Amino acid sequence: MAEVVLRGSPHVLSRRRPSFVRAMAAETRRKVPHVLTVAGSDSGAGAGIQADIKACAAAGVYCSSVVTAVTAQNTVGVQGVHPVPEDFVAEQLRSVLSDMEVDVVKTGMLHSGRVIEVLCSSLKEFPVRALVVDPVMVSTSGDMLSAPSTLAVYCNKLLPLADIVTPNLKEASALLGGSSLKSVADMYSAAKSIHSLGPRNVLVKGGDLPDSSDAVDVFYDGEKCHELRGSRVVTRNTHGTGCTLASYIAAELAKGSPVMQAVQAAKCYVESALCYSKDLVIGNGPQGPFDHLMKLKSHVSGLAQKPLFNPDDLLLYAVTDSGMNKKWGRSITDAVKAAIEGGATIIQLREKEADTRDFVEAARSCMAICRPCGVPLLINDRVDVALACDADGVHVGQSDMPAHLVRSLLGPRKIIGVSCKSPAQAEQAWADGANYIGCGGVFPTSTKANNPTVGLDGLRTVCMASKLPVVAIGGIGAGNARSVLEISVPNLKGVAVVSALFNQECIAKETRRLRSILSDVLRT
């Protein structure tokens, strides 16, 4: 009887036939990108390992953790820090690194030089693809989290192992012995000086830069400084932004992204999350947390969720153009009102010339026009603007943010469209979670110079291969819209137009004319 039990035990099977079990596991296992965060625990869950895990989850990456300290903190500040003994930090590191195939290690709060030495020793014993160092020394509220004596060990032992280090202005100043950083030029100099300490790349974060209307970061790769600018989000909910940025960089590196691309994706993600969370109220202190997964508003607003995407909305897809609005002396809201009056079924704002602040305000005004009419409003390329104005979705091109990342930022109920010219691109859009694809240019167009056309045959080929609804775009107007829809492919749902509507004296009149043509084709 004992023999029967043993044969049924997977543990006995693994002892008797370890090579067989390992071979089977290798056959069936799919490698999951994995980040290990080595940092302190934040009881308020806005920063530290809690923020790291949430950021990696938002990026679609597994995150394990080694706790270096336990803190008592909330939105008011840090009330206490309890360091984890160095030997137990070492035991945690060995447990994870020896078993779980970590791709990238990201560090946060390292409270002592001995902890840093333990980490460096572990990384030499268990090498990983990349090391991201966020030199956390002071909390957002100004409380000290690391002993001053750790600075020398940081500079001499940890930074030379780092693939990227991500100090804010205070941390960069500390690493450089107290240098004052008050301008972008100071950030350039600091990035180069910190690079000389050994890391392969440096990102100096300028969120606290005085007198700056933008969020400016400086990235230095050892050869060139890159100035990365984004919109500054005014909110109290900034606790944990540094941890989150570094963790998202680590997550992108774990997925195989180049360092610069990982930094850009992380910066965009943090900006989007801050925009989404700026009005949340969690805690009573001056620094609140933000919502990494961008889902909390639907639970606290008391409002019913908007319906999911309806492919029939693609019938007459109107794409605004800032140059045409300027030519005819119209505001973007005037153009959108006229298009809806004429029968446009969906609106996309493509405003290449507006700065972020003006674009957000204009988009909010357009949302106030579209929503009561039941007309979805999408933003071209700009996920941050879409989040800031609560637009219905985003349309991206092949060179923009990948649709799977857009989906992780916007959540499941927003609309995502992707520009595609080939069956392979259409297949990828479907795999990435898009709702529809825009195929074109079908015909030559003046709005995009040197844009290769696919023609009606190419449009038909992409439609036949696509698992998603398709809207045709490029050079389409009243004269040829009928020929586009008459290719008679079931998932071709409509046409997207720019000049045919917005480069005309009367937008409403031209929209009604085109809507009538499209409706006639559908009736036949």
What phi-psi label fits residue 206: left (phi over 0), alpha (psi between -120 and 50 degrees) or beta?
alpha
- Round to whole Å and give the CA distance between 470 and 472: 6
Q: Is 241 a catalytic residue?
A: yes
Which residues on adjacent β-strands are paired with residue 37? Answer: 65, 106
Rg from Cα positions in the chain:
26
Q: Of the listed 243, 370, 420, 439, which one is catalytic?
A: 243
Q: Of the listed 241, 244, 345, 356, which one is catalytic?
A: 241
- Run of H or E residues at 269: helix 259-277
Q: Of the listed 68, 238, 447, 511, which one is catalytic?
A: 238
The one-letter amino acid code at 248 reads Y
Q: Of the listed 207, 240, 393, 441, which one is catalytic?
A: 240
* Helix ranges, 34-153 (H): 48-59, 86-97, 113-125, 150-153
Q: Of the listed 44, 48, 242, 438, which one is catalytic?
A: 242
Tell me if residue 132 falls in helix, strand or coil. strand
Strands of 214-220's sheet in order across: 78-83, 62-73, 34-42, 104-107, 130-133, 164-165, 202-205, 214-220, 225-231
Q: Of the listed 54, 205, 267, 493, which one is catalytic?
A: 205
Q: What is the b/e burial string over 59-91, where b = at least 16 CB atoms within 10 angstroms of the residue's CB? A: bebbbbbbbbbebebbbebbeebebbebeebbe
- Run of H or E residues at 73: strand 62-73
Give how far Cα 78 sits from Cα of 138, 167, 246, 408, Å. Answer: 10, 20, 21, 31
Q: Is 453 a catalytic residue?
A: no
- Round to whole Å and give the CA distance between 464 and 330: 39
Q: Is 285 a catalytic residue?
A: no
Angle at 192 (CA atoms; ends 269, 151), nearest 5 degrees: 85
- Catalytically active residues are 205, 238, 240-243
